[in-house]
């Protein structure tokens, strides 16, 4: 089977007529859509002579919508996957051609997980194309009654609420990295929180959410609403470069009782 790929990156919300005209300039047997995040107009996928398929970053019908990779991390999933589906008139409701599981490591963030999803998706599409015999790809309908949904990540989602549980905060921080970046405040200035890990430090009664704790002179922990601590590994003060917790502690010399947020 001879396969020629052509990458087409467009935003149909800006200059829809030109985009549709560009699609018509070349004839394709198959269109593959990935990470578009909106409903694709029928005029687009009607151009293909074979069909149009969508590579979605979750195991449908779970996490239909615009942010499946981020939401899987946010919810603390330990595995997710990819789904290849036919494109339909409603978002992510098309029949399923193929699925593949992807493991989520404890240290994964949206950047690393998206790399895994992309690799699994490319491998799966090539696997699917090798089965093409001139007939429509076999598929199965989704279990629509089991569908869950995820929306677009909003700018206000970046702001950390230290009264939440430490695990919830950790998952939010890695879900937001590297595209949006979780943020808090310190000494009345913005502080971006880039990388964290849950701490095994003992639970404290009557916690002060956001309270900072220095450990071993080079480790930085923040108290969360459940009394547990979240260890800050990398952060970025306003108008400064990213730095390790150790560098931050050396440069800012936190005082007893200081907090984030």
Locate 70 and state its tokens: 């981020």
Spans of the chain, pLDDT less than 70: 1-28, 37-50
pLDDT at 119: 97
pLDDT at 38: 67
Peptide bond just before 61 cis, omega within 30 deg:
yes
pLDDT at 37: 64
CA 38 – CA 33 distance, rounded (Å): 11
Tell me the H-state helices in 48-181: 68-74, 110-129, 166-176
**CA dihedral for 114, 115, 119, 125, sign (positive or negative):** positive
**CA dihedral for 25, 29, 31, 32, sign (positive or negative):** negative
Residues 6+ positions from 88 with CB-CB distance below 8 Å: 94, 95
pLDDT at 221: 98
pLDDT at 90: 87
Domain 155-252, second-level architecture: Roll (3.10)
So where are the chain's domains?
A: 16-150, 155-252
CATH 3.40.50.170 matches 16-150: yes
């Amino acid at each position: 089977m001879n396969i020629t790929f052509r990458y087409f990156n467009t935003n149909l919300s800006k200059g829809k007529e030109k985009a549709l005209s560009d699609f018509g300039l070349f004839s394709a047997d198959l269109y593959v859509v990935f990470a578009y995040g909106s409903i694709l107009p029928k005029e687009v996928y009607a151009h293909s002579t074979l069909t149009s398929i969508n590579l979605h970053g979750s195991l449908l019908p779970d996490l239909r919508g615009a942010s499946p990779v981020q939401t899987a991390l946010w919810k603390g999933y330990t595995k997710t996957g990819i789904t290849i589906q036919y494109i339909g008139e409603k978002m992510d409701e098309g029949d399923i051609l193929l699925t593949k599981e992807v493991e989520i490591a404890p240290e994964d963030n949206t950047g690393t997980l998206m790399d895994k999803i992309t690799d699994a998706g490319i491998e799966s599409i090539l696997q699917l194309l090798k089965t093409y015999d001139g007939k429509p790809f076999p598929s199965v309908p989704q279990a629509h009654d089991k569908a869950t949904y995820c929306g677009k990540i909003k700018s206000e989602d970046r702001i950390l609420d230290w009264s939440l549980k430490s695990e919830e905060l950790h998952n939010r921080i890695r879900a937001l990295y590297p595209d949006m970046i979780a943020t808090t405040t310190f000494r009345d200035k913005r502080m971006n929180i880039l990388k964290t890990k849950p701490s095994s430090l003992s639970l404290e009664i009557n916690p002060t959410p956001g309270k900072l704790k220095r450990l071993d002179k080079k480790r930085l922990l923040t108290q969360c609403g459940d009394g547990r601590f979240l260890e800050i590994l990398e952060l970025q003060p306003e108008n400064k470069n990213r730095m390790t917790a150790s560098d931050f502690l050396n440069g800012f010399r936190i005082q007893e009782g200081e907090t984030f947020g």
